[in-house]
Amino acid sequence: MKEYTRDYPRFSLCGLNCGLCPRYHADGVSRCPGCGGPDFSRKHPSCPVITCNKRHDNVEYCFQCSSYPCPRYSQPSDKDSFISYRNVISDFQRADQQGIDSYKKELDEKVAILEYLIRDCNDGRRKGFYCLALNLLKLSDVKDALEEVDRGTSGRDTDVKEKAKRIVSALEARADQAGIELRLRK
């Protein structure tokens, strides 16, 4: 595939939140640069969505295509890979309704929270969970969970394992309230 680049690789052409994927936050050769990020074409030499886009309207996001919704987007995918595909259609709807710049701003805020969680609240086993939670939960629910943990640990010296346990519990509680299962579907 010819070099494919995008100005904003955190939100893919096909609607995945690349900035919330564990591979986007990996170190070393397994790191993915996000859709159209640096060296993307070498890591992903063929992408049927990019090929389709070039044959159609060559848009920034599939929801902007004159053929959208095509069969690819008639139903949400029932399987996931490194990141959940569950919210692709609803994320496209939000990006279309609230505007892509507003959507990107919200995604950037989620990525910043994810980076904090991975850096300061990861007991070595939580990166995938944090990525999934940030991808599937509303930003307001994530913020509420973090505020709850901060209130509960304020003024106390909390080790990483305890903090991770509290954050996971708070995020799982928000997911349960919203009827969201925080597991990848294989």
Which sequence spans correspond to the domains of the chain? 18-178
pLDDT (tens digit per residue) in 125-138: 999 999 999 999 99
Q: Which helix (H) or strand (E) holds 175?
A: helix 160-178
Taking the C-alpha atoms of residue 143 and residue 186, their distance in angstroms, rounded to an integer, is 28
Q: What is the pLDDT of residues 8-29, one digit of tens each?
A: 999 999 999 999 999 999 999 8
42: confidence class by pLDDT, cuts 50, 70, 90 = confident
Cα dihedral sign for 112, 130, 182, 177? negative
Q: Which position has the higher pLDDT, 47 or 171?
A: 171
